[in-house]
Chain A
Amino acid sequence: MYLRLISGIVLCLLLLSCEDPVPTGDYVPEIVVNALLFVEQPISNITLHRSQPILDTFKLATASIRNAVITIETDSLTLPLEFVDDTTGGFYRAIDTSYKVRPLTTYRLRVQVDGKTVTGTTTTPIAFSFIDPPKDTLNYPGKEKETQLYDSLYVRWTPVAPAQEYVPGIVNLDTTNYGIYLTPPTDEANERLRDDEFDEGTRLNGERARYAFAQTTSIPTVWRVFKWYGRNELVIYAGEKNFVNWFRQVGFGSRSSLNFNFTSVEGGVGVFGAASVIRHSVFLKKKQ
């Protein structure tokens, strides 16, 4: 009696415990803002696009929003932005191309598109500089010696209060040529340090820049950050909170789902952040 009753109830309930189908048609477009200001640089490379259906091939040129009215303002002036089209989807820049972002200044973003408004606020950090820049040329020691620490590889920079976390990165400036930068020049081609780091066809595989995270103003140059030999640039960003959070979201390339706590605009998703940046060129020589 008991067993029959329980079996009956359980059978009914089990029939109800069905899975949800994989959603492919629940498309809810969002306005995506990618707006980063860099101290002492013009306002440019601000992009705006609509998020795309989840299983479509993403094309920025298709997703790009070209008709937005965007202004960036401070307490004392308003800077209207204009759209500059190109084959990759285009970008917005300040009409006043001579204007350079000031340190320790609060900027407010206002985007109007299709009757919607997206806003954001950021305060720029101070400018900073290298105390100990990297050497102009670094000699790669080979994989087997990668974990050995070389004092000469340390770089150091001036602190940027209140920034506590910095984003250092290596940007390769020429993935094709290597030998032409040697003395005497050769026709040797450039190559990657590792062939098996990324799968072919992945988006990160083709990116020339790779970033890390530092909670200090002094770090060694880490061999694994380099993707290519040859002409590289060491870049350090001292970002405010919005910049750092956006880096947490996309910088490592591994966080594939958006964390809403890492976006810094209202009315859409994305970033309106600011950073000071320093750069120094480095030539990475292959192991001799």
Chain B
Amino acid sequence: MPLALRLSFLTLASILLFAANEPLSASPLPPPAGGVISGVIEDSTTKETLVGATISVKGTRLGTYTNKGGYFSLSNVPAGDRIIVVSSIGYLRKEIPIKVVEGGSQKLRVEMVQASIDAQEVAVIADREEDKRQINISQVNIPMQQIQSMRIGGESDIFRALQMLPGVLTSSQISSGLYIRGGSPDQNLVLLDGMTVYNPTHLFGFISAFNSDAVKDVDLIKGGFPAEFGGRMSAVLNITQKDGNRDRVEGLIGLGLISSRASIQGPLGSGSWFIGARRTYLDLVLGLIPDDPASPFPNFNFYDINAKITQNLSDDDKISLSGFFTNDALSLEQPGLLFNIGIGNRAGALRWSHIYGDDLFSVVTVSGSRYQNGFDGNNSGFEFSIANSIFDYSLKSEFEWFASDAITVKTGYEGTLYNFTYEQNFSGTNEPNASQADAVFKLDIWDNIHAVFGQFNWQVTDLLSMQAGIRGSYWSLSSTTTVDPRMALRYQLFDGVAIKAAWGIYHQYLRLAAAPDFSFFDTWLPTDMTVPAGRSDHYIFAVETKPFDNITLNVDLYYKVLRNINELRSGATRTRNVDEVFFVGNGEAYGAEIFLQKSSGRLTGWIGYALGWVNARFDSVNRGNEFRPKYDRRHDFKVTALYALSERWDLGASFIFQTGQSYTGATSQLNGSMPDWDNGIIVTIPSQRWGLRLPASHQLNLNVNYKTTLFELPFMIMLDVYNVYSRRDIWFRFYDTSKEVPTVTDVRLLPILPTISFELKF
């Protein structure tokens, strides 16, 4: 029996054993007594529920966090007069006196008041009684205020903010793909209100498709994620959209260099609504510029829309309907050549949250997500087209049981019906005849995946907590069953110092055919019978400290084994199976990350440093020799800071310094020829794949916000300076062999780019 399978069974047996012995094992803790306090924490103004707020009982060690629905439950609260302390970053700490009755239960709805800058320093102090059941290894939560202050060209961008975290790399400065601890972007599970987003970028990968105005919470788990998440090998990006203001109608209009945006939200029935949209004006600007008919400008535009309706059907029932739409379109029409490219996401989710009694919380999500791209054109009368799409219809049902103040159990089912389509027509005509039929290829695969998971968080003793889980999945197309055990431990060494460890197996079914630098013809494919499923094993050790008030310092060490990963078969023009699209190989990633974060107060931000290695080996790549992928960077140092100078002025800065990007050198040049050619062309013979380094990459960006009023409405002027000292990093280096003497040519990235943008709230 393989080692992994043995470990799986061992873990499953351990979980069952723990579950069976739970009352006995919990004996070191106080016997169950007292009452139960549960409820919802929300913003006093907008009535938006708050994720990750801390709730503790003063004078005890009891404490917990609110979940993604803003819900919490504390059991075994000692009877008597108690004070409940609630705090959340950016809000005034609140103390609520309550009377707890033995065996009784109380539900609270706590409204938190936003803190002024001066008050923020004290607002979140003394959250010592945190929920030790939550292990949260390698998990980072960036406050939205900070994400919104990290802008390029006036655009705040969630992915750009995430790229400032240590261990999160990119293939280049202008790519928004997230390479996390050696994993490629397709190995990240990107969730928006529970729906999977398959291509979260605009401008062919330059900026993310998430409008930060519409987002309430961003959680990134860089590894060791629990069993409730599956289907990806590397990381989880879990984004929650705003519910909308339940109190009054408000809106926002923003004008930036790349796009303009608007959002509006307000109360509706027993809930709220929110709609936000962005659109670029590149096409409108280009339309005003007279162009040369022989060499016209391409026409380009993108837009995205986020929408959400939330209704509280009762104190215990909440439903929300979320939608997410994006579209990028590029067209070019010039003599002899015309083409159109369309890329877009359509996703929607209906989510029902229900509270059963005091300690059981459930969420049922029905979602649909479609990503499609298409390319069609006409080259001198030769018509061609390529189109592909992935449709995902999912049902996810999960139950969270706050069994005691020491144990939380989460279990659920996730089923997805997939439809992959691919259509390629290189026949030269849209209506091919019989002799041209072979140039038309259509793929239409229906597949379904079913997964069940169970996990529990158990505070074994006052110092030791553990999280164990298991996820079983069945993939119908390849008739594969996988079992992924996962485990994490947390031990409180001293006050403010905890050590954590995690291990887990992660399988991935989907594969993405994409270029590393551009999101152009991204094609999602299933794992069919011709290739094995991808798999990674995560080993993580972390030390988490709080050296000062409001400051956390985490050190993570990780080792990741990567099996059956992809490398696109370059130049393949006629593919019928997945193994004809990809080379399949193995790899490993390991490294260390240091992350110092200050989340509240006048000065917020972080300093991050990562030291990492990524290696890969494919039989048919680099002549079978090991190589490091392009995005491997040995050192990765990042600093971000946001300083609230006054109620009117905010200053922000971000700095990045990384080992240079990898590129492939050459050992010599050859002459390649075709019949009837007189001279032939020069082709370089590559050396070690990605074996050389470009110069180190570094950049400083500055932001200044000035808050004032316009027509008595809140108005903000935002000045951004991108690449302050105009360091033009090399995007890529290549050997130009088109002329008689080959030359080494560097293509450089953007110079300094100052921009001004505006934001009006009403």
| A contact residues vs B (CB 8 Å cutoff) | 2-3, 6, 9-10, 13-14, 16-20, 22-23, 26-30, 32, 34, 36, 38, 45, 47, 49, 51-58, 60, 63, 143-144, 146-150, 153, 156, 164-165, 169, 171, 199, 201-204, 206-209, 211, 213-220, 222-225, 235, 237, 245-251, 253, 255-262, 269-270, 277
Which A residues are CB-close (under 8 A) to B611? Answer: 13
Which B residues are CB-close (under 8 A) to A204? Answer: 681, 738
Contact assessment for B669 and A18 in the assembled complex, using a CB-CB cutoff below 8 Å: no
Contact assessment for B438 and A216 in the assembled complex, using a CB-CB cutoff below 8 Å: yes
Which A residues are CB-close (under 8 A) to B438? Answer: 164, 215-217
A87–B428 CA distance with the chains assembled, in angstroms: 41
Contact assessment for B669 and A17 in the assembled complex, using a CB-CB cutoff below 8 Å: no
Excluding A52-B670, A147-B336, A214-B428, 17 further A-B contacts by CB distance (< 8 Å) are: A13-B609, A14-B657, A14-B696, A17-B658, A18-B696, A19-B660, A58-B742, A203-B738, A203-B739, A209-B676, A219-B428, A245-B571, A256-B682, A256-B683, A256-B684, A257-B664, A261-B620
For the residues of A in contact with B, the DSSP-based class is: mixed
Name the CB-closest residue of B to A223: B380
A129–B441 CA distance with the chains assembled, in angstroms: 25
Which A residues are CB-close (under 8 A) to B685? Answer: 28, 30, 51, 258, 269
Which A residues are CB-close (under 8 A) to B669? Answer: 51-54, 56, 58
Contact assessment for B571 and A220 in the assembled complex, using a CB-CB cutoff below 8 Å: no
A146–B623 CA distance with the chains assembled, in angstroms: 43
Q: Which of B283-318 contact A (CB under 8 A)?
A: 294
Name the CB-closest residue of A to B338: A147
Which B residues are CB-close (under 8 A) to A171? Answer: 676
Name the CB-closest residue of A to B668: A51
**4 nearest A-B pairs in the assembled complex, by CB-CB distance:** A216-B439, A250-B672, A146-B336, A143-B335
Contact assessment for A54 and B571 in the assembled complex, using a CB-CB cutoff below 8 Å: no
Residue B382 interfacial (CB < 8 Å): yes
Which A residues are CB-close (under 8 A) to B678? Answer: 206-208
Partner of A224, one of B379, B383, B437, B659: B379
A-B contact pairs, 7 of them (CB 8 A): A2-B596, A17-B658, A146-B380, A147-B336, A203-B738, A204-B738, A219-B428
Contact assessment for B381 and A222 in the assembled complex, using a CB-CB cutoff below 8 Å: yes
CB distance from A266 to the nearest CB of B (A): 12
Contact assessment for A6 and B609 in the assembled complex, using a CB-CB cutoff below 8 Å: yes
A180–B379 CA distance with the chains assembled, in angstroms: 31
Partner of A34, one of B335, B672, B743: B672
Contact assessment for A17 and B683 in the assembled complex, using a CB-CB cutoff below 8 Å: no
Contact assessment for A34 and B673 in the assembled complex, using a CB-CB cutoff below 8 Å: yes
Q: Which of B616-648 contact A (CB under 8 A)?
A: 620, 623, 634-635, 637
A14–B696 CA distance with the chains assembled, in angstroms: 9
A27–B685 CA distance with the chains assembled, in angstroms: 10
Residue B30 interfacial (CB < 8 Å): no
Given contacts A216-B436, A258-B686, contact A199 B738 (CB under 8 A): yes
Contact assessment for A6 and B594 in the assembled complex, using a CB-CB cutoff below 8 Å: yes
Q: Which of B701-757 contact A (CB under 8 A)?
A: 733-744
Partner of A255, one of B381, B665, B683: B683
Given contacts A201-B740, A257-B735, contact A23 B665 (CB under 8 A): yes
Partner of A28, one of B294, B380, B623, B667: B667
Name the CB-closest residue of B to A31: B670
